[in-house]
Chain A
Amino acid sequence: MNASFFAAAIVAGTPLLFATLGEIITERVGQLNLGVEGMMLMGAVVGFQVGLATSNPFLALLGAMAAGAFGALIYAFLTVSLRANQVVSGLTLTIFGTGFSSFMGKSLIGEIMPENIRTFWKADIPILRDIPFIGKVFFQQDLFVYLGYITAIALGIYLYRTRAGLNVRAVGESAPAADSSGIHVVLYKYVHILMGGALCGLGGAYLSLVYVPAWQENVTAGRGWIAVALVIFVVWSPYKALIGAYLFGGLDILGFRLQGYNIKISQYIIDMLPYIATILVLVVGSIRHSKENAPPKGLGVPYFREER
C-alpha cells in the first residue's frame, strides 16, 4: 500500500462523498430519498452535456447541480406537498433519473470531455503538497476533491453550530416539535431536499466530467445506493462521511490493486464489504439502542399539521 493507492481511494470516494452528504442533509430533515442514484445520473448527464456544449467548467457544475435539484424537487413535491410514500417516490425518482440520463445520453455515447475541462480541475495546493505522504494523498488532487473536503466540513459546522442547522435537526427528529417552535417545516424540508439533490448531482458530475471523463451509460454503476448505505455507516454525520466515503472508495479499488500483489480475493467479494459493513452498523445501532447515533426519529414519518 503506497500513497498512490490512498490518493486513488480519495478520488474513488469523492463521488460517494458528495452523494452521501446530499443524502445526509436530506435525511436530517426526516426525508428518506432513495432517488440518489437517479439524481446522480441526472447530474452526470446534464453536467456532461453542458460541459460539452459550453466548454465552461463552472456552467457544467451548475448544470449538474440544477439537474440533481430538479430531481429532488419532484421528490419533494410528491412527498412533502402531496404526502406520497417516501420509499416509492424515491425509487420512482431513480427509475426516472436512470431513464432520463440514458435517453439524453444516447447521443453522447463515445463523446469525450474537451481538454480544457478535463485539465481544468487538476490543482495542487502549494506548501501542503510538499508534506511527505500526506501531501501526495490529500493535496495533489483535483478541485472536486478539495470541494468535497470543504463541503463536508461546512455542512458539519452548519448542522452542529448554527441556528439553521439546529432547526434542521429538530425538523428531522420531531416535525411537530419543530413546527410548534415556529420553524417553517415545509420550507426547511424543501430547501434541504433540494440542497441534497444538488449535492447528488455534483457527485454524478464528478464521474462524467473528471473520473471517466467520457460519456458511458449508467456511469454511476450503483454508487448512489452505496451512498444511501454510507449515510447509515457514518451515522448521519458529515465529518464521519469524509472517512466513510474514502474508506468505501478504497474498497472500491482494493480488489484491483490486490491482484497486483498476487492476493487472490475476488473484487466481487470485496465489493460486498461496504454493504455488509453498513448492515453491521445498522444492527449494532439497533441492538445498543443508542440515542445519540440513532437515525433521525422522524425519518420517513410524514407530518401534516392538521391531521387528527
Chain B
Amino acid sequence: MIRIVKRTDVSKIKAARIRILAVVLALFTSGIFILLLRHNPLAVYSAMLQGSFGSAYRFKETIIKTIPLVITSLGIMVAFKMKFWNIGAEGQIFMGAFAASFFALQFPDLPKPLLLCLMMAAGIVGGGLWALIPAFFKAQFGTNETIFTLMMNYIALKWITYLQYGLWKDPDALGFAKIPNFSDNAILPKLFDIHIGWIFAFILIVIMHIFMHHTKKGYEITVIGESEDTARYAGMNVKKVVLTAMFISGGICGLTGMIEASAVSGTLSVEVSSGYGFTAIITTWLSGLKAPFILVVSFLFAVLLQGGSFIQTAFQIPQAAAQILQGMILFFVLGSEFFIQYKILPRQNGVEMTAEKEGK
C-alpha cells in the first residue's frame, strides 16, 4: 500500500532534477518507439540537433521559430495568470494577421515605417478584439471561456480560408489559391539577417515581466486569478480588468500574426499561424507563467520543431517523429509535476510508524 503526501518544501534544484529526468525518460521511451518503427533513434536525435544548430542558416531558422512561440506565450501568460483559460491564441494570431494584412494589401505604397506601424497596431487590435468577444461573455454571464475560445479558433481559420480561396484570392496566381504577396513596404526589416521580430520578442519579455510584477494592472490580474471574491472585496472592477487583460492577451497574440504574415510568409495564408497558438499554450504552461522561462522553453520547442522539419528533408525520417517526440516529452514533463508536488510513501501501520516519526 502507498499513500501520497503533499510536499511542503521542494528545492528548485530538486524540481529541476525531476524535470530533466522526465525529459531523459521521454527521449528514451520515444527512442524505443522510433526503434520499433525501424529507425535508429540516435540518428534521429542527432539529426534533429544538426537540423537546428548545424549551420548558421539552420540556427537562424530555429530562432525564427522561437519568435512566434515567445510572443504568443507571453500573451497567453496574461490570460492564464488570471485563470482565464484562453486557448484561442491560434484564432487571435489569425485575426491579428488578417487585420495587418488588410492594411498591407490596401495601402501597399505607404512609407515603410508608417505602413509597418499601422500593421502592428492593426494586428494588436485585431487579435485583441477577437479575444474580447469571449472575455465579454465570460465577464458578463460567466460563459465557459475554454470552449468559447477554442471555437473562435475555428471560426477565424474558416474566415482566413474563405479569404484565401475566395474574397482575396490572387487572380494572377493562375488558379492557385493564394492571397497576393505584400509589397516590400509591408515586410519587416532584418537585423543580423533575422527579421526584427526577435527584438520585439526580447523587448516584450522585459515589458511583460515588468507589467505582471510592477504595475497595478498586473497586480490586479494576479489577484483576480487567485480569487475573484478577494478582488471584488478590495474594490477592483473585476469585469473591467478581465476585459483589459484579455485585450492585452489577444493583442499580443495578434502581434504574432502580424509578424508571421509580414516577415515569414510575406502574405496572409491559412498556414500563417503554423499551430503556434496551440504549441504556445504548452510552452506557457511549462514555463510556470514566468516571462523569462518562456524564452527558454520556447527556444527548446523551436529546436524540436526545426529539428523535425530538417530530418524530413535530410534523412527522409518523417517530420512527424518530432511531433511524437514533442508529445512524449510533454507527457513526461506534465507527469513529472506530480512528483515535484507530492511524494509517495509506503503506508505504514501501527507502532513502528509512530516511533519512526518521533525519532525524526
A-side interface residues toward B, CB under 8 Å?
32, 34, 74, 77-78, 82-85, 87-89, 91-104, 106, 222, 225-226, 228-229, 232, 266, 268-269, 271-272, 275-276, 278-279, 282-283, 286-287, 295, 300, 304, 306-307
Contacts and interface: CB of A to CB of B under 8 A. Distances in A.
B326 A300 contact: no
**A-side binding surface: helix, strand, loop or mixed?**
helix
8 contacts: A78-B331, A85-B334, A88-B281, A96-B327, A266-B166, A268-B158, A275-B151, A300-B146
Given A225-B150, A266-B166, A268-B165, A282 B324 contact: no
B190 to A, nearest CB: 31
Nearest to A276: B155
B200 interface: no
B298 to A, nearest CB: 15
B330 A282 contact: no
Interface in B103-144: 137, 141-144
A55 to B, nearest CB: 23
B148 A279 contact: yes
A100 B322 CA distance: 10
Interface string B302-323: 0000000000000000111111
Contact of A229 (B147, B285, B330): B147
Contacts of B4: 304, 306
A87 B331 CA distance: 13
Given A100-B324, A283-B148, 12 more contacts: A74-B331, A89-B331, A91-B87, A92-B327, A95-B323, A96-B323, A226-B154, A228-B150, A229-B147, A272-B154, A282-B143, A287-B141
B278 interface: yes
Contacts of A106: 318, 320
A98 to B, nearest CB: 6
Chain A CB within 10 Å, residue with most, of B146, B147, B162, B322: B147
Chain B CB within 10 Å, residue with most, of A92, A266, A283: A92
A279 B152 CA distance: 8
A279 B147 CA distance: 8
B132 to A, nearest CB: 14
Contacts of A283: 137, 141, 143, 148
Interface in B254-287: 278-279, 281-282, 285
Contact of B147 (A91, A232, A269, A276): A232
Contacts of A282: 143-144, 147-148, 151
A102 B153 CA distance: 23
B72 interface: no
A95 B335 CA distance: 16
A95 B330 contact: yes
Given A87-B87, A91-B278, A102 B155 contact: no
Contacts of B62: none
B161 interface: yes
Given A85-B334, A88-B282, A88-B285, A102 B323 contact: yes
